[in-house]
Structure 1
């Protein structure tokens, strides 16, 4: 037995463990049956067989991960740093108590079927491949509170999107189609929305009266749209607006300045026209006696 293996084998009551490379832990996990937290570069089927008390699992490398969920009944948080496809080899009970799942690739309805084994998910970060011109129905995740979705492809076209209605925080990146934004706006409990690198090039973003009724925080990052047609009534509870690298946007709608809850407009690397429109909004509000609105320009 190697010296490192001997040392680890003596730590049978160890609860938290982080490995910096693969060489140090091959064959050692079988001794650590009391682990609650594990940060590891790679995990195989064989490695996960003795981790029945594990609650937090972070896999920081590798593109394939096949944990045996049936042997990890207490696992609540799984984070895959490198996006990995949900594998049919994942041995999952009919329902599992997993609450956080991050870094899964979804290619087809088989992957969606596996996601249905985690009805208690509260936080999900997933990636959708361009080869699948459809968006899975995630409405079955009735306890989901936060969702981050990254879409790979160009100008994806798919039908109606069924988000879980309890979502409070939503982040959309890459190729989410502009024409489907109304599905986002109608989420009844949405409070935080981040839109990043969306392909809105040459298009207008039009919002409606029945959208974003509980939204408090809105961040737009690197959106290539030119005009934002909206009204303060469309964001009645907005508190903070953040724009970053929206270089094609002509101006911030002045109507947003009249949202009674708005406290801050924050700009990063935006065009002169956007900066000028933000300062004009602040000036108009000061003339109307509103000294509370802050405008931060970086």
Structure 2
């Protein structure tokens, strides 16, 4: 057997492959029909070969190539480390069974047409920015979508509304998402985990209502600039864990949250004195009411852990 045939036969057995640079890997892929996981710097303009068993594709650098989904029939998870545009040049059959799409940039309704080719999508990480009104893609048509991580990177974004699937369970929002749209988020009937970071609460109050966040179990607020949080224990009836991080504009944690019967833990990370003191006050109130389950953890110069 020649050396080239020997190498080719070995390559065919590989199931996991990572390329650290882009030197000469394009032609090699045509021999890799047993690959399950592939990590490459960027997609070639045309992916050679039919990677029939590939399930995970991870692209580590800004991408300018287009995935050929007809050559990737078993692909379930596609990750871009750097934001990459969804393009009409993506070679997609009428539908594809992709479940995870991470690191894509959405700009207008044209991307919605591409996303509709993935009806089984369960996890989406995306970046959105547009100056045109109402151009945010409607995501409610993705019936299997369970988690979304969405960054709004343009202050000029002027969408009137954003529609998430009603079955969404985990939602992470960051950037220029205005607090006036939080009521829409609160009404998602199956939402269990919500993380907000750098959301534009500047100069605003956050007012929650009785019909919001009815199944929410975990809430994390990071680097938010709102001052007053007007809420009730009835607005978060199933909350188990509350995390506040660098919320230095907040005047206090609402004491009503301490009366949520399911609440197990409050964590305060790098917040100001007022927030820390309000967490301690909640601890004292619950102790007086015989609550021995709630745990309060305060992180600062040193970690203070308090179990009631």
In the alignment, does 2:98 pair up with 1:86? no
CA distance in 2, matches of 1:276, 1:207: 23
Runs (4+) of structure 1 exceeding 4 A deviation are 3-6
Given that 1:45 and 1:68 are in contact with CA atoms closer than 8 Å, whether structure 2 keeps it comes out as no
- The 3-state SS of whatever aligns with 1:47 is coil
Deviates more, 1:49-58 or 1:121-130: 49-58
Given that 2:173 and 2:195 are in contact with CA atoms closer than 8 Å, whether structure 1 keeps it comes out as yes
Partner of 1:104: 104
Partner of 2:35: 35
Given that 1:221 and 1:245 are in contact with CA atoms closer than 8 Å, whether structure 2 keeps it comes out as yes
Deviates more, 1:93-102 or 1:36-45: 36-45
Deviates more, 1:23-32 or 1:187-196: 23-32
CA distance in 2, matches of 1:177, 1:156: 10
Partner of 1:180: 181
Q: 1:4 to 1:104 in 2, by over 3 A?
A: farther
Normalised by the length of structure 2, the TM-score is 0.92
CA distance in 2, matches of 1:75, 1:196: 31
Given that 1:243 and 1:267 are in contact with CA atoms closer than 8 Å, whether structure 2 keeps it comes out as yes
Partner of 1:129: 129
CA distance in 1, matches of 2:24, 2:293: 56
* Count of residues paired in the alignment: 296
* Pairing of 1:222-241 with structure 2 (within 5 A): 222-241=223-242
In the alignment, does 2:171 pair up with 1:170? yes
Deviation, 1:8, is 5.8
Partner of 1:157: 158
What's the RMSD between the two structures over aligned residues? 1.7
Partner of 2:266: 265
Partner of 1:15: 15
Deviation, 1:153, is 1.4
Which runs of 5 or more residues in structure 1 are unaligned?
none
Partner of 2:247: 246
- The 3-state SS of whatever aligns with 1:23 is coil
Q: 1:73 to 1:184 in 2, by over 3 A?
A: same
Which runs of 5 or more residues in structure 2 are unaligned?
300-308
Partner of 1:66: 66
- The 3-state SS of whatever aligns with 2:111 is helix
Given that 1:254 and 1:277 are in contact with CA atoms closer than 8 Å, whether structure 2 keeps it comes out as yes
Partner of 1:279: 280
